[in-house]
Structure 1
Amino acid sequence: MKINWKVRLKHKPFLIGAFALLLLLVQQIGALLGYDTTIYNERVTELFNTVLAFLVLIGVGVDPTTEGTSDSAQALKYEKPKDDVK
């Protein structure tokens, strides 16, 4: 599986998704260690987790233009995310 991490780390949706994933992971580890991770109340915490999960869903995706989880040969050569606007 080859992924052009240099470009992925410059792509804003990927960064947002990765940050949201990190927040969810920290919250889960805290809960496992016995820390109260409730933000304001249970409903607000559930809403916050849903928003974070949605951000992860849209941000940490595979390259939709290729089969499988690897980047395309063309995407591996990019120095920055491709701008589709001409």
Structure 2
Amino acid sequence: MKVNWKVRFKNPHFVVQVILAVLVPILAYMGLSLEDLTTWNILGNVIIEAIKNPYVLGLVAVSTYNAINDPTTKGFSDSLQALTYTEPREDEK
């Protein structure tokens, strides 16, 4: 498995996608929305409860896999071209 993590984490869209892949299943299972997370204490309690629940961890794992996997390549690795990037590629107009 070869993934160009340095370049992926330089892309803000990828970072947001991974954060949402973790948070959304947790919030949905617990019947919460982002507006319910008004203190760090509440967020900490939600995360602890999620870690205690194997079903929620499974939902997070599947969601995160879907956020990270590149469906345009076979397997889980990035393409050979993507592995050579040092910055996220900008499509030309």
Under a length normalisation based on structure 2, what TM-score does the superposition of the two structures give? 0.51
Runs of 4+ in 1 over 4 A off after TM superposition: none
Distance 1:2 1:79, change over 3 A: same
Mapped contact 2:18–2:68 kept (Cα < 8 A): no
Among 49, 60, 63, which residue is 1:30 paired with?
49
| Structure with the larger helix share | 2
RMSD: 3.1
Please list the CA deviations of residues 37-74 of structure 1 after superposition, one character each: whole Å capped at 9, or x if unmatched. xxxxxxxxxxxxxxxx8xx57x8132233111100111
CA displacement at 1:15 relative to structure 2:
0.5
For structure 2, the residue ranges without an aligned partner over 5 or more in a row are: 28-43, 53-59
CA displacement at 1:32 relative to structure 2:
6.0
Distance 1:85 1:60, change over 3 A: same
Under a length normalisation based on structure 1, what TM-score does the superposition of the two structures give? 0.54
Tell me the distance in 2 between the aligned counterparts of 1:63 and 1:69. Answer: 7
Q: Aligned residue for 1:44?
A: none
For structure 1, the residue ranges without an aligned partner over 5 or more in a row are: 34-52
Distance 1:74 1:32, change over 3 A: closer
